[in-house]
Structure 1
Amino acid sequence: MEKDLQEKFVTLLEENQNIVHKVCRLYTNNREQHNDLFQEVTIQLWRAFPKFRGDAKFSTWMYRVALNTAITLYRKSKRTVQTQDFDDVMFRISSEEYDDTVEQQLKVMYNAIKDLNDIEKALVFLYLEDKNYKEISETMGITEVNARVKMNRVKGKLKKLVNPS
């Protein structure tokens, strides 16, 4: 039973690991922090996986765990991510090489997003992932109307940050 759970988790994580990489990109400033946060999110996902009931899609649940882990660590450490020893986890996950060059054209937008508060960052991230407002509200634990209102405010804020004139 434990082996089946591990195999299922590893498969789902490998299929959806880009979600975690994207969250890490938003909440870290360099490759080392990115890798540390990826590791910590993976550990938190593994710990929470036995409680995953399947009420929501795995990717929606994964977004929630990844964002909550990133926000919690970001607030605790003021941009220095503390991690746990990964050797405690018995399985190994093959990690895709993270290619920063693909996102170079988005550098200005990412810098503007980094200036947002934690909740606004999460909202923009989910929006950029083409999540509808129902999925955004479920992931963030807010109403759908509240998600729409917050997103409209964030769009205005980003426009000012990107084009300050």
Structure 2
Amino acid sequence: MNAVEKEFLEIVAQYDAMLYKIVRLYRDSAEDREDLFQEIVFQLWKSYPDFKGNSEISTWMYRVALNTAIASFRKKTTPINYLTQLPDFAEEQPNDEVELRQERLFAVLKVLDDSEKALIALYFEELSYQQIAEITGISENYVGVKLNRIKIKIKTLLNK
């Protein structure tokens, strides 16, 4: 393994949790998540030589990961079944309440459209509005407006 490959693998390892969060937003099954994760890493590897360091590495990785997730989501030919009613997790007896709440949140997040998913994923990573604007290509002010609308939508869906 050469130095560039080693450096790249270290970067991926450092940000793999971030990548898995994005993957989880766009894929339901473990197999599909793994396929998307591999596709994202492949796209990162292909574009790694072009990364000039004009932005933070995490910003670049977000942009590539989100674009890959959205593009591959659109390419997917299997029918998509959108939830018309969110599962009632309250009836289940979970071993871990945190896991239950997390699953409920991810069920709600899957109802969001692609741009909303991308913005909320970046928000959950605690990026600043400026960083989110840089990644998504929209203004900082519009990031704030969109995030506010998304939060209201999530709160409404969680309260159903």
> Smaller-chain TM-score range?
0.7 to 0.9
Task: State the secondary structure of the residue aligned to 1:64.
Answer: helix
Deviations 1:11-62 (A, max 9, x none): 1111111111111111010110011001000000000000011111111111
**Identical positions, percent:** 41
Structure 1: stretches of 5+ with no match in the other structure = 81-100
Q: How many aligned positions are there?
A: 143
Identify the match of residue 109 of structure 2 among 101, 110, 113: 113
Residues of 2 paired with 1:6 and 1:54: CA distance?
Answer: 17
Structure 1 residues 1-165: aligned runs within 5 Å: 3-77=2-76, 103-164=99-160
How many angstroms does 1:104 deviate by? 3.8
Residues of 2 paired with 1:163 and 1:132: CA distance?
Answer: 27
How many angstroms does 1:78 deviate by? 5.0
Amino acid at match of 1:12: I
Length-normalised TM-score, structure 2: 0.84
Length-normalised TM-score, structure 1: 0.81
Residues of 1 paired with 2:46 and 2:9: CA distance?
Answer: 13
After TM superposition, the runs of 4+ consecutive aligned structure 1 residues lying more than 3 A away are: 101-104
Q: Pick which of 106-115 and 39-48 moved more.
A: 106-115
